[in-house]
Amino acid sequence: MLSLEEIRRDLAEDGRLVSRVLYTVRMPGDPDDADGEGHTPIFFIPDIHLLSAEQAAGCRDAFVLSGGKKALLVSLLKRLLDLRDGEAAWRNLAVYQLGDFHDLWREKEHWWWAEDVGDMLDRQVDAHAELLELFRRLETVRIVGNHEDKLRARGPLDSLAGRRIAEYFPKGTIRPDLVSFAWGAHARVDLLHTDQVDPVETGFFSFLNTTGARFAMPARALGLATVDEWQHECLEPGTNDSPGPETRADRVLDFRDPAVPKERKKFFAESREWIAGALGSDLDLARRTSAATVTGHTHGPRIVVDGNPPAAVLVDCGSWVNKSSGPGGADVFGNSQIGVLTGLRIGVLQIGIG
């Protein structure tokens, strides 16, 4: 079983990639835990927000995977492939993408009427074929996020059969809402985008969010950037996505600690409650203890726990768009995070070039 430090060492062995631990926690269980099919280690890739070259040009590298971040992500995925195919300890690697892989809200050519999903995704294939091929070769399982929520409906998803995108992400690799898998003998790990429990995405005015996303760039000029429902979408390009002074990159955040701001606790209890209902009749998974809930969506990396030792863990893996910061709002860095699970250790790493 690889340790987290061994994983970081192996990622950096070719001299190009470096990583640092933003957050990490030890979960209860057995040190040799793996999923029900023996997969370990497990990597989680958070929000990417792909756009076609045409649409990305209008975003000025805000809210979308930029050229530099794309090159870094390609380097990471190539390294994972080399390790999986060349190192015995890596042969059971598994990769999950946590949602908002595509940004269909901004991909539409027109604000005011629908566009065929296959046409939008084919434009993205033109711009990102190498990246998509790497995810395919890694046999990535994808969760659908809110910016691509059309793929949660069977009709649009079925319509992709025969499209170019289906070569890279076959229908069977796409999960509409939730992925849960056994971890060891008694636990499970749950993966969720978490827009399902975000009032901004589920409230009465949530139908405006797709327009708000397209309206992001001129919003500042019109004085709309502080509208709560659009706040995540309408900040200026490069704005720090994390809460700044409250961020503590040197430790996890305790849900019970009154000093931890409410913003850093968001979706902790709500996601666990939603997952419990969504598991439904899957009695094997429902009877297991949730070792961790792994999420994306907020773009702000964090780990939140309930108690010490942790009775519950929320691992927010951040994103590959916009920026975050270290303690006190200092050490601002462009988001390029991943989650890593191995044995009892789960962490969020910041990836960079050496």
Q: Assign residue 60 the CATH number of its domain.
A: 3.60.21
Band of residue 232 on the pLDDT scale cut at 50, 70, 90: very low
In the chain, the percentage of residues whose pLDDT exceeds 70 is: 82
Give CA–CA dist 149/90, Å, rounded: 33
The pLDDT-based confidence of 134 (bands split at 50, 70, 90) is very high
Average pLDDT for residues 15-37, to the nearest whole number?
86
Instruction: Flag whether 254 is in a domain.
Output: yes
Other Cβ atoms less than 10 A from the Cβ of 143: the count is 25
List of residues 6+ apart from 21 with CB closer than 8 A: 4, 8, 347, 348, 349
Under the banding of pLDDT at 50, 70 and 90, the label for residue 200 is confident
Two tokens, residue 327 = 């303690």
Q: How far apart are CA 343 and CA 2, in angstroms?
A: 8
Count of domains forming the chain: 1
Element at 277 (helix H, strand E):
helix 268-279
In the structure, what pLDDT confidence band is assigned to residue 246 with cuts at 50, 70 and 90? very low
Mean predicted lDDT score pLDDT of the chain = 84
Q: pTM score > 0.85 for this model?
A: yes
Greater confidence (226 vs 192) lies with 192
Each residue's pLDDT tens digit, 216-227: 545 443 444 443
**104, two tokens:** 């269909």
Least confident of 154-158, 209-213, 272-276: 209-213
**Residue 319 to residue 66: CA distance in whole angstroms:** 12
Which domain range does residue 323 map to?
Answer: 4-198+235-353
Q: Measure CA 167 to chain center.
A: 22
Residue 187 CB neighbours (<10 A):
18
Q: Over the stretch 291-315, which tens digit does the pLDDT of each residue have?
A: 999 999 998 888 999 877 678 899 9
Residue 86 lies in a domain: yes
Would you call 260 exposed, middle or buried from its count of C-beta atoms within 10 A (0-12, 13-18, 19+)? Answer: middle
| Residue 68 maps to a domain | yes
Is 310 inside a domain boundary? yes
Are 259 and 246 in contact, with CB atoms under 8 Å apart?
A: no
Cα separation, 166 vs 179, whole angstroms: 20
In a domain, 221, yes or no: no
Tell whether 114 is covered by a domain: yes
Kindly state whether residue 209 falls inside one of the protein's structural domains.
Answer: no
The residue-averaged pLDDT of 122-138 equals 96
State residue 226's pLDDT score: 40
Rounded distance, CA 185 to CA 190, Å? 15
Range 237-257 average pLDDT: 58
Q: What is the mean pLDDT of residues 6-20?
A: 90
CB 320 within 8 A of CB 47: yes
Structure-block tokens of residue 129: 């074929």
Tell me the mean pLDDT in the region 144-151.
Answer: 94
Q: Report which residue type is found at 211.
A: T
Residue at 212 is within a domain: no
